[in-house]
Amino acid sequence: MESLVTFGLAVLHLFGFYALLAVGLGLVFGQLGVVNVAHGEFVMVGAYVMYALDAVPFVLRLALAVGVGLVLSLLAEWTILRKLYSRGMLATLLAMWGLAIVLRQVAEAVFGATPRSVPFPVQGSVDVLGVRYPTYRLLVAVVSLLVVGAVLLVIYRTSLGLKLRASIENRDMAAVLGISPRVMIAGTFAVGTTLAVLAGALNSPTLGLTPGLGVAFLAPAFFAVLMVRPGSIAGPAVGALLVALLSSLLRTYFTETVADLVFFAALVVLIAVRPAGLSWRLPSWLTRSSERVA
Amino acid sequence: MLEVQGLHAGYRDARVVNGLDLRVEPGEIVALLGRNGVGKTTLLKSLFGLCSVFAGEIRVDGTPVPGGRPELLARSGCTLMPDDRGVFPGLTVEQNLRLAARRGYRPVVDVRAVYPLLSERADQLAGTLSGGQKQQLGLARAVLAGSRLIAIDEFSQGLQPSVLEASVEAVRTVARSGVAVLVVEQGPEIPLRFCDRIVVMVKGGIVLDATAEDLRADPSRLTDLLVVG
């Protein structure tokens, strides 16, 4: 029982972290068609903002990190991506790869390569069904999932979200109905990327801060996006849960290195077998009968 | 209302519309006819900045239309139904309609009364509708969003006769309230019945521009241009 609770808490924490990352990554891919390989570096940016502004109270620092994320992502969209959409996915992927390198180098130039750490704002641990668990980790998991829930709520239940989904489905037609493609594109990139910055900021006390810390998070986040129906907005959150489960399971039974190896091997196999993502829908012969009644 | 002067438009390396002039007045229904590939769809798209304009000018109420910004034109009350109908497949019928509704504008016809199907299937995903049903949704959206200009590509595509009649009546009523209407059609029969003016395109330019009344008296002028051969 105890080990099950411990396992559940580990999954919950990873789920919150990867859900923030994957929903942002999926939104950006759905709206912009951009494979944002700099997503992990935005996690790193969030963590370093928390380190650099250590004199500021923690919650205010989180807000500042979100602000930095919004400004940085809007700048990146405006100066780099906007000119490249028409050149296709490879051009934007390479540009984002370049941006990732620049962000890592800037972090190294400013903060050095030695690992830094951010002190916990909340000490101590709480009792969860008989298991002692760090209070801050639990808080982070809950806050992360609440943020993801709020983002999905806005997308599926508000008129702004309706416009966003229309723009993802058919950008030209949405424009013909008065929805500005420029605003939708820049806004989606800013929100999606800032979710990654927030993930880095929230988790900064539990991370060892190095300029390359974001690299390891990119692949699992992609895994989460790829595991669901392409273009789905809520899907990556489900993918994040599967990633958290798989990764926690592997780490229970294997050493970290072997676990990572198996995890990434599974990712390669998934991409090789289903390059367009998995579709968790019923086979067509099961659903066909009810349709076609015109 | 809509003025097009010396328009050259098309795609990156294909000029499809060559030096075209066109006017549509408020309350007027103009049909654009022509064989496949003469540039009717490209003309409509170029009005909304959805393809490249190489030369010429498009003005709405005397104001030049900015290129590549369909949302600005849309906010001024001009809308387009493209030939693929442009419904959002992953959104419900009701959500599709809600996106088209303009604040402060209620068309003189109630689209839900014209197309009762849209109320019956309000919560159905638009992607699961049949072609003719999508056409009804596309037309309803165009009527909702177009307070000044409605451009419709392939107006009668997929519509059964009774629904076509209802659509014709709806468009006439909307036009009588002052909305300019530009419809693209394949054949001359439907436009001859309900349009005010008929414009025929050949090879990216206009070769015939006459009132429907004149053409009803002498339909051969029209059919000669449309028959393949």
> DSSP string covering B31-100, please?
EEE--TTSSHHHHHHHHTTSSEEEEEEEEETTEEPPTT-HHHHHHTTEEEE-TTTT--TTSBHHHHHHHH
Taking CB atoms and an 8 Å cutoff, what residues of chain B touch A181? 71
3-state DSSP call for residue B130? coil
Residue A45 lies in a domain: yes
Q: Which residue in the block uniquely carries the two structure tokens 């300019």?
A: B180
Please indicate whether, in this complex, the C-beta atoms of B75 and A174 are within 8 angstroms of each other: no
Nearest to A175 among B71, B95, B98 (CB): B71
pLDDT digit string, tens, across residues A138-147: 999 999 999 9
Please indicate whether, in this complex, the C-beta atoms of B99 and A162 are within 8 angstroms of each other: yes
Domain of A19, in residue numbers: 2-213
Q: Is A94 buried (19+), middle (13-18) or exposed (0-12) by CB count in 10 A?
A: middle
State the best of A163, A173, A229 to mutate against chain B, taking most chain B CBs within 10 Å. A173
Please indicate whether, in this complex, the C-beta atoms of B95 and A162 are within 8 angstroms of each other: yes
Q: What is the ipTM of this complex?
A: 0.92
Tell me, what's the pLDDT at A270?
78
Per the CB < 8 A criterion, the answer to whether A217 and A240 are in contact is no
Q: How far is A290 from chain B (nearest CA, A)?
A: 11
pLDDT digit string, tens, across residues A31-73: 998 999 999 999 999 999 999 999 999 999 999 999 999 999 9
Lowest mean pLDDT among A3-17, A158-172, A267-281, B137-151: A267-281
Distance CA A11, CA A14 (A): 5
Whether pLDDT at A192 is above 90: yes
Whether pLDDT at A283 is above 70: no
Residue A192 lies in a domain: yes
Closest CA in chain A for residue B128 = A291
Q: How far is A227 from chain B (nearest CA, A)?
A: 19
Total structural domains within chain A: 1
Distance CA A245, CA A233 (A): 20
Nearest Cα residue to B133 out of B115, B111, B155? B115
**CATH for B2-85+146-226?**
3.40.50.300
Distance CA B95, CA B88 (A): 9
Taking CB atoms and an 8 Å cutoff, what residues of chain A touch B95? 162, 166
pLDDT digit string, tens, across residues A212-224: 999 999 989 988 9
State the CB neighbour count (10 A cutoff) for residue A60: 10
Q: How far is B211 from chain A (nearest CA, A)?
A: 29
Tell me, what's the pLDDT at A278?
58
- Model-level pTM? 0.89
Residue A191 lies in a domain: yes
Q: Look at phi and psi of residue B104 and say left if phi exceeds 0, alpha if psi is from -120 to 50, else beta.
A: left
